Amino acid sequence: MIRILIADDHPVVRAGLRAVLDTAAGIDVVGEASTPDDAVALAAAVGPDLVLMDLQFGRDRTGADATAQIRSVDAAPYVLVLTNYDSDGDILGAIEAGASGYLLKDAPPAELVAAVRAAAAGESALAPAVAARLMERLRAPRVSLSAREIEVLRLVADGASNGDVATRLHISDATVKSHLVHVFSKLGVASRTAAVREARSLGILR
């Protein structure tokens, strides 16, 4: 029996996922969480085999943050990300946090169940669109930003100053500037605004 914890801030989404998974043989939904903190706490309390994790919860902490915390303990459950977003930043952030799969919410039920079974077995479970984006990164290193560079650029896109970025990521102002220099060089731009615009046009940021 695969024991599943669903983490999503939308009750309708959680209900829909439970309805799909409850009809699948050998799968048992053992809990639901509506915040990243609840997901971490419930994962520790009920010990699921797999956490089905949304990325955006409308707050500072994200599904990637919760994934990293859940995966940091011994005998940690696997995490399968289920989200609406397929930008490079979201994909890389989730995978670096320890997710073993990444699925989009428009996936048909059969694909969801198959991904749950694969992820719970420790196998990689990537939506076709996500796998395609990762292949694009391998084929186009010219515009391949590191996960940290994307993280810095995402905060810049949200309006954060260099000092704000440094505080959020616990790095120095000089390190932020260094990351931005590399970003500008890779994207062939000369300003923060242009970098954000180019990253969005390339699908690196939402």
Return the pLDDT at 182: 86
| Cα distance between residue 28 and residue 3, in whole Å | 5
Please state which of the four CATH numbers 2.20.25.650, 1.10.10.10, 3.30.930.10, 3.40.50.10300 is assigned to the domain occupying 142-201: 1.10.10.10
Q: What is the pLDDT of residues 90-115, one digit of tens each?
A: 887 888 888 988 998 888 999 999 99
Q: Which CATH superfamily is domain 2-137 in?
A: Response regulator (3.40.50.2300)
pLDDT digit string, tens, across residues 11-59: 999 999 999 999 999 999 999 999 999 999 999 999 999 999 998 887 6
Q: How far from 132 is each of 34, 78, 86, 108, 111, CA to CA, in Å?
A: 30, 23, 10, 18, 17
Q: How many CB atoms lie within 10 A of CB 85?
A: 17
Summary mean pLDDT of the chain: 87
Q: Do domains 2-137 and 142-201 have the same CATH topology?
A: no
CA distance 164 to 19: 42
Q: 72 Cβ partners below 8 Å, 6+ apart?
A: 98
Q: Return the domain boundaries, the chain.
A: 2-137, 142-201
